[in-house]
Amino acid sequence: MSGPPLPGVALVREPTDEGYLYREGVRLHWLEWAPPGTPAPPAILLLHGLSSNARYWERVARRMTNRRLVALDQRSHGLSDAPPTGYGLDVLAADAGHAIRELGLDRPVVVGHSWGGTVALEVGATPAEQVSGVAVMDGPIASISERITWEDASRMMQPPLPRYRSFEEASEASRQVLGKAWGEDLQPFVKAGLRRDGDSWVLTLTAPVRLQILEQLYRFRPEVAFAAIDAPLLVGLAAIDTAMRAWKEEGARRMQETRRDAVIRWYDSRHDIPLIRPDEVATDLEALARRAVRV
């Protein structure tokens, strides 16, 4: 749950700005948190995970009031458009790169959670996209295709999408997932991830689009991206994940052989680290940003 801010700063309760960008006919929504005056460089671009939205990062943003943060609703999420196709990692990375240029973020630190971490890695590994640092919060750090077949992966990762009778039912489902980390401050985040479908509430992400994204995620090779990124790197991993712990440990060991300078951080948390441990995430991102300035 929300805790105290970083020492010496006050909480920012709401985004200071928001708007839309357009790239190749697709409208992309963004939120911004910025302090009065001149923010400390670099800015930070935040990329949410699958079936999430830009408001996922609000708890972290409230704790980083000395610099500019922008969170992007990736296509088919939040208030962004949902084209039926166009979910290759190169396209998603180009969306993020477009946001960097259009919003004048000037070599930001790019941060991604879960699937958003693969997009952040793709952005960092693309020479044309100038970044100061990359952070991945509990995203894949080793190839999923080395561990499981696509047929098995698609069955495991594509359960039936939920359909809620009311917004209250959707909020209760999120509360059950997050447990003690739940707070009423997350109501706008839950609402931003839903749309009305008749008398029901459903996710903004449809099953066919989700399957396209999952196939890209399955074929992604994080180890190639890690080697290609020429910037400070932070990898955050959820320690309370017994089913995946051995795979994560092996991936972390192999990644560190490629990137000895990378910081690997194990959080006493389940998958949603930025919601469960926002103070620690904010502190670690601040350290990464300061490190990026020195490089």
pLDDT digits (tens, 9 = 90+) for 50-97: 999 999 999 999 999 999 999 999 999 999 999 999 999 999 999 999
Express each pLDDT in 274-288 by its tens digit: 999 999 999 999 999
The class of domain 17-150+206-294 in CATH terms is alpha beta
Give Cα separations from 129 to 144, 160, 230, 268 (angstroms): 25, 36, 11, 33
The answer to whether 26 and 77 are in contact (CB under 8 A) is: no
Residue 13 pLDDT grade (very low, low, confident, very high; cuts 50, 70, 90):
low
Contact (Cβ atoms closer than 8 angstroms) between residue 30 and residue 72:
yes
pLDDT of residue 9 exceeding 70, the answer is no
| pLDDT digit string, tens, across residues 244-281 | 899 999 999 999 898 999 999 999 999 999 999 999 99
The pLDDT tens digits for 15-31 are 999 999 999 999 999 99
C-alpha to C-alpha distance for 235 and 252, rounded to whole angstroms: 9
Q: What is the mean pLDDT of residues 6-11?
A: 40
Q: Which pLDDT does position 100 carry in this prediction?
A: 97
Q: Is the pLDDT of residue 12 over 60?
A: no
Q: What percentage of residues in the chain have a pLDDT greater than 70?
A: 95
What is the pLDDT, as a whole number, of residue 14? 85
**In whole angstroms, what is the distance from residue 268 CA to residue 286 CA?**
19
Q: Per-residue pLDDT averaged across 181-188, rounded?
A: 96
Query: ∠87-177-163 over CA atoms, to 5°?
Result: 60
CA dihedral 145, 153, 83, 47 (to 10 degrees): -70
* pLDDT of 10: 42
**CA distances for 268 relative to 249, 254, 286, angstroms:** 15, 22, 19
Would you place residue 294 in the very low, low, confident or very high pLDDT band (cuts 50, 70, 90)? confident
Q: Is the pLDDT of residue 3 over 50?
A: no
Q: In the predicted model, what is the mean pLDDT of the chain?
A: 92
Tell whether the model's pLDDT for residue 211 goes beyond 70: yes
Domain boundaries, the chain: 17-150+206-294
Over residues 206-233, mean pLDDT: 94
Return the percentage of the chain with pLDDT > 90, whole number.
Answer: 83
Record the pTM. Answer: 0.94
Of the pLDDT bands very low, low, confident and very high (cuts 50, 70, 90), residue 147 is: confident
| Residue pointed to by tokens 């935040």 | 46
